[in-house]
Amino acid sequence: MKIIFTLIFSLFFSTKIFAVSKPMGLGVMLGNPTGLNGKYWLNSKHAIDAGVGISLGHNWEGSLHSDYLWNKENAFYFKEVTPLDLYYGLGGRMEFSDSIELGLRAPIGLVWKMEEKKAEFFSEVAPIFDFLGKVGIEMSLAIGARYYF
């Protein structure tokens, strides 16, 4: 199981997969799961995100997820001055420890971009519909930050 986790982690962060000419951000997320995340912009309205970390439920489990995202820039304003972007999407999630659980994610979140757009802070909620391993509905909550290069 550790070999699979290491392989997926290495592939996700490999520069050969992601073209350097597109903006890509890497960062951390806190919540469920807690770990590393990344976002790769396909164009100005669509992106792919992914995360690898530890799900802090009853048992600590490894967690991988990836989502296709639709983004709406400046969807809301905080105190009428600070723009917040909205995103929503659809993706998948895998948790693993002694067994593997698979599910569908439907994240929705808000993003605050720093002025020069080299960093962003985000918060998201994602209902998860598990269909393999453990069948049921869960909720994922996370806050985090990414730096773009």
Q: What residue has token string 């994922």?
A: 140
pLDDT in tens, 27-85: 999 998 999 999 999 999 999 999 999 987 667 889 999 999 999 998 888 787 789 99
Q: Does domain 2-12+27-148 have CATH number 2.40.160?
A: yes
Asked whether the beta carbons of 109 and 124 are under 8 A apart, the reply is yes
Helices (H) and strands (E) in the chain, counts: 1, 9
State the pTM of this model. 0.81
Q: What is the pLDDT of residues 86-121, one digit of tens each?
A: 999 999 999 987 889 999 999 999 999 987 778 999
Q: What is the residue extent of each domain of the chain?
A: 2-12+27-148
